[in-house]
Amino acid sequence: MAILGIDNTPEDQARQAAIEKKANGIFIASLVSILFCCLGGIIASIIANRARNDAASGNLASAESGINTAMIFMIISYIVGGLSFLGQLTRLTQP
């Protein structure tokens, strides 16, 4: 980390780049999860966007925490949407 003008080491830069890449991927996946469960997808998108901003500013601990939280909401959104879809299918197939 850059403290008092000391440059980042290559390891720190590589870690930051990896976290930024993961945060961008989670953000895109959370936008898709809005289609499955609107509320969960919106929450995941907001948290993932904060994680992207934290990663870009160098706050890696907060970014990693935000990525994990966004992933939880995203997975819940996919599960709720999938169960809802299955429920609708079973209702349509009943005589």
pLDDT digits (tens, 9 = 90+) for 65-95: 999 999 999 999 999 988 988 988 888 887 7
Q: Which pLDDT score, from 0 to 100, does residue 3 have?
A: 52
Q: Which pLDDT score, from 0 to 100, does residue 68 have?
A: 95
CB 24 within 8 Å of CB 49: no
**Residue found by looking up tokens 């934290």 in the block:** 54
Q: Which pLDDT score, from 0 to 100, does residue 7 have?
A: 64
Q: What is the pTM of this model?
A: 0.81
Has residue 60 got a pLDDT over 70? yes
